[in-house]
Amino acid sequence: MNRHLLVFSGRSNPKFTASMCETLNAEMGRLEVVRFSDGELSVEISDNVRGRDVFIVQSTCAPGNDHLMELLICIDALRRASAWRITAVLPYFGYARQDRKLKARVPITAKLVANLLTTAGANRVLSMDLHAGQIVGFFDIPVDNLNAMPVLLPYVREHYGSEELTIVSPDVGGVERARHFATRLDNAAIAVIDKRRSGPNQVAEMNIVGDVKKQTCIIVDDMIDTGGTMVKAAETLLDAGAKAVIACCCHPVLSGNAIERIKGSKLKELIVTDTIPIAKSALFPRLTVLSVAPLFAEAIRRIHSDDSISSLFR
C-alpha cells in the first residue's frame, strides 16, 4: 500500500522544513501551536493524518525546553489522530551532551529525552551528527543518524583542497570524526588538542598532539556552542606555527556572546550547517552556512519508500 507522505514543522526551524518540502515536491502539513496565558502549549493539526506516513521536523535548539515539549505534544497529537507511522526529525538533538555520568548524582538526560520521544509515540527518529554514537542505543526504536560530511567535504575540498591540510580534533573524543574527515581529504594529516576544563564551557589549558607548522588547520567538531573552545584552539594552533585555522562544525548552537567572540577571533572562517537557524543580524562575512535540508529530504524519501539510506551516512 502506497501511504501518503506528510511533513509537519515545529516552530524551531520552519524555513529548514520548507526547504526540505521543496526538494521533496511536497506541501508542508498545516499545524498550529497555541500558547496559553499560563505558558502551556497546545497543538491543533488541520490535515487528516489517519493512516499517513508522518514526519515532524523540530530541532530542539534554544529555547530547548520549549521546543522539546512542543515536539512531544505534536507527536502525541499525531498518534491520537491515528497516524500510521510518526518519524521525529531532529536535525539538532538537544541534551545530547548529557550522555553519561561524569560524577555522582547527575542525570543522563539524553537517555531521558529518548524515552520521552518513544513514550509520546514516535516510531522512529531521524537526526544528524549526534554528539556521541551511544545515543543511538538509548532508543528502543529505529534511529537514523545522518552525517553532515557529504555537504561539508565538497566545500572544504573546493576552497582549501590545494592547501597543506591538517584536520584537528578539538578533543580526544572527536578523533574518529577527524579521522573520517581526513581520510576523505586525500589522507590529510591529523592533530589532536588535549584540553583540560576548569568548568562547564571553560577551558583552562590546551596542548597540541601533532605537528601543525605551516599547515592550514581545519578544526572538525559536531557543534560550536559558546565559541570559547574554538577561539582558544585557533590561538593555540597559530602559536604552534599553523598558517591558518578554519572551524568546521555541523550544529551552530552559538549561545551567549559566541558571535562576538568569533568575530574577534583569529579564525579565518567558520563553516556550519542550517540544522539550527541563525538570525540574519548574527551573520557575518567569515561565517558560511551550508544547507543539509536536501540531505534530510532524501533520507525522508528513502524512509517513506522503504529504501536503504546507508549510503547517506558515508
Active site (catalytic) residues = 195
Cβ–Cβ under 8 Å, residues 165 and 151: no
User: Residue 197 and residue 201: Cα distance in Å, rounded?
Assistant: 8
- Which H or E element spans position 272? strand 269-273
Joined together, the cell numbers standing for residue 135 give: 545515543
Find the angle CA(298)-CA(143)-CA(64) to the nearest 5 degrees.
Answer: 90
CA distance 150 to 272: 13
CB 210 within 8 A of CB 191: yes
Q: How many CA atoms lie within 13 A of 59 on its CB side?
A: 26
Q: Which set of grid coordinates corresponds to residue 163?
A: 592547501
